[in-house]
Amino acid sequence: MADKSNDPVAIWQNMIGEMEKGFNSFANKAMESPEFSRVVNQVGGVSAGAQKQLGELMEKYLLTMNLPSRAQMVSMAERLQSIEAQLNEIKALLHQVHHNSGAPDGGYPAAPRPPRTRRPPSSGGEQK
Amino acid sequence: MNAPAGLDLASIPERIQTEVQRAIQRSIKGVEYIASSGPSLGSTPKDILNVRGTMNLYHYRPIADEIYRVPILLVMATTNRGYILDMVPGQSFIEFLLKRGYDVYMLDWTAPKPEEKRLQMEDYVLDFIPDCVRRVQRDSGETDVTVIGYCFGGVLALLYGSIFADGPMKNLICFTTPVDFREMKLFQNFSDRRYFDVDRLVDSVGNVPPEMILSSFEMLRPASRAASQVQLWENIWNDEYVKSYRMFDRWATDTLPLAGEYFRAITKDLMWDNRLYNDTMSVGGRPADIAKIKVPFLHAVAEHDHIVPYDAAKPLIQKIGSADKEEVILKGGHVSLVAGANAIKRLWPKLDSWLCERST
């Protein structure tokens, strides 16, 4: 196999790595300047305000069109996630019930917790 | 004509064949990549003990036959999701802790809703963390709790520990936790008080959008996203590489918004006035001096951390009041310190050997 210095693929990968480092380093130097901070914050301040106004405008527009807004979709997604989490809980409980199917008539006991007696390996405890 | 030194002519056909096979695989796997979803993350079995707005407390089901007496409460950074500590089986810090016999709880965050924009530092430090600690105590039946904070979760844990210095925290572990915010030079410049009007931003947007948080992280290494995509294309034939890329990429882009008032306090108290470092920090009128923390303390920092540079994290070990304290500097970056192959080899075994002695 050719050594790395003559392997075109290795040369290409090395070049990408070096370019990444070089550009990051150059950009970081540029970003340390107060001018950069001033420009970014001017642009950012304006765009954050504009984005907020645009968002509110869009929300009103979507409401008029009888369509859900992004915030409503995100909220719905979160509710779905919460329902999924609860379903997982139910699945886990069913799983537990299935495991304890020989449980007494009084109901199904919660899964027993292991004892809190573990000792570190150096003091004679065993690493399991 | 002679071959250049080091070039083995006999290997060229073999190399060409490999590259052609990889090119074919790239085309096939590239289509698969677009058509499929990534691996399922954060799937270690857990119970949700409490959900209150942005705050979520989980208890992971123990898998060892015998566990250490002292439970662990992990406090996640408020900017990111907790599944970085529970990626996939075999690469999950939570799973590692469970296998080593710890009882693990996690305080994780979801996106604060618009009405939660008024959440302040007080809510996080004087309400959410103490509430979770109480619930861990009740659930485990133990008074003592070990707290582990990752990145800004570490800052919250430090503030909590310094205000509730009399307990019940038994041990404190911080991963890549900044205390000298002057040394976070690029973040300092992004939030330069001469040009960054935090009041105007918070008053106009409410919660700080996740896109803004993500861009500020990505601006620290502006070329890295493009370079990582080139690397992904080169390695798309390699299933393990793609799996790992998808896990970390999904996590890195799954940034959370920050509650407006909380962000305002971080900017003013920490970024501008550097109060944690200057010993002038207070939360809800209660002084938070990290010298008051006396419990056993471990700080793990990464050698090549571009988000929390070592200089920003370094003073913590001197400033903390604990007599039993240790700092470990490990190879890797901000994320690879806690997750991935690097963490499996370095941080996790170190943490286990330190903590097991202090968990009985």
Q: Read off the pLDDT of residues B185-231 as tens digits, 9 standing for 90 and up.
A: 777 777 888 888 888 888 888 888 888 877 777 777 777 777 777 77
pLDDT of residue B127: 95
Q: Read off the pLDDT of residues B302-327 as tens digits, 9 standing for 90 and up.
A: 888 888 899 999 999 999 999 999 99
**How many whole angstroms separate alpha carbon B178 and alpha carbon B102?**
27
pLDDT of residue A127: 52
More confident residue, B114 or B162: B162
Q: Do A41 and B195 touch (CB under 8 A)?
A: yes
Residues in CB range of B84: below 8 A, 6 or more apart: B150, B251, B335, B338, B339
Q: Read off the pLDDT of residues B61-102 as tens digits, 9 standing for 90 and up.
A: 999 999 999 999 999 999 988 888 998 888 899 999 999 999
Å from A89 to nearest chain B CA?
A: 7
Tell which residue, B92, B35, B38, has the closest CA to residue B60.
B92
Q: Which amino acid is at A50?
A: A
Count of C-beta atoms within a 10 Å radius of residue B86 = 27
List of chain B residues whose C-beta atoms are within 8 Å of the C-beta of residue A110: none
The arithmetic mean of pLDDT across residues B291-312, rounded, is 92
Q: Residue A1 pLDDT > 50, yes or no?
A: no
**pTM > 0.90:** no
Å from B283 to nearest chain A CA?
A: 28
Token pair, residue B54, equals: 């942005």
The interface pTM score, or ipTM, of the predicted complex is 0.72
The arithmetic mean of pLDDT across residues A7-32, rounded, is 76
pLDDT of residue B101: 95
List of chain B residues whose C-beta atoms are within 8 Å of the C-beta of residue A2: 6-8, 11-12, 15
Token pair, residue B153, equals: 């979760």
Tell which residue, B79, B99, B68, has the closest CA to residue B259.
B79
B64 to A40, A126, B101, B146: CA distances (angstroms): 52, 12, 5, 18
Tell which residue, B44, B163, B64, B162, has the closest CA to residue B106.
B44
**Three-state SS at B103:** coil
Tell which residue, B111, B13, B136, has the closest CA to residue B53.
B111
Token pair, residue B15, equals: 């190399």
Q: Read off the pLDDT of residues B127-186 as tens digits, 9 standing for 90 and up.
A: 999 999 999 999 999 999 999 999 999 999 999 999 999 989 999 999 999 999 998 877
Token pair, residue B208, equals: 């700080």
More confident residue, A33 or A101: A33
pLDDT of residue A101: 62
Tell which residue, B303, B294, B296, has the closest CA to residue B354.
B296
**How many whole angstroms separate alpha carbon B88 and alpha carbon B95?**
9
Q: Do B15 and A1 touch (CB under 8 A)?
A: yes
pLDDT of residue B1: 45
Count of C-beta atoms within a 10 Å radius of residue A91 = 10
Q: Read off the pLDDT of residues B21-49 as tens digits, 9 standing for 90 and up.
A: 777 777 777 777 666 667 777 788 888 88
**How many whole angstroms separate alpha carbon B50 and alpha carbon A79?**
16
pLDDT of residue B106: 96
Q: Residue A126 pLDDT > 70, yes or no?
A: no
Q: Do A114 and B15 touch (CB under 8 A)?
A: no
pLDDT of residue B88: 81
Q: Say which of A19, A89, A114 has its CB closest to residue B64.
A: A114
Chain A to chain B, count of Cβ pairs less than 8 Å apart? 141
Could you give the count of Cα atoms lying within 13 Å of A65 in the half-sphere of its Cβ? 9
Token pair, residue A106, equals: 């009084």
pLDDT band at A17 (very low <50, low <70, confident <90, very high): confident
The arithmetic mean of pLDDT across residues B290-303, rounded, is 94
pLDDT band at B298 (very low <50, low <70, confident <90, very high): very high
Q: Do A120 and B19 touch (CB under 8 A)?
A: no
Inter-residue contact B231 to B19 (CB < 8 Å): no
Rounded to the nearest angstrom, the gap between the alpha carbon of residue B200 and the centroid of all alpha carbons in its chain is 29
Å from B285 to nearest chain A CA?
A: 31
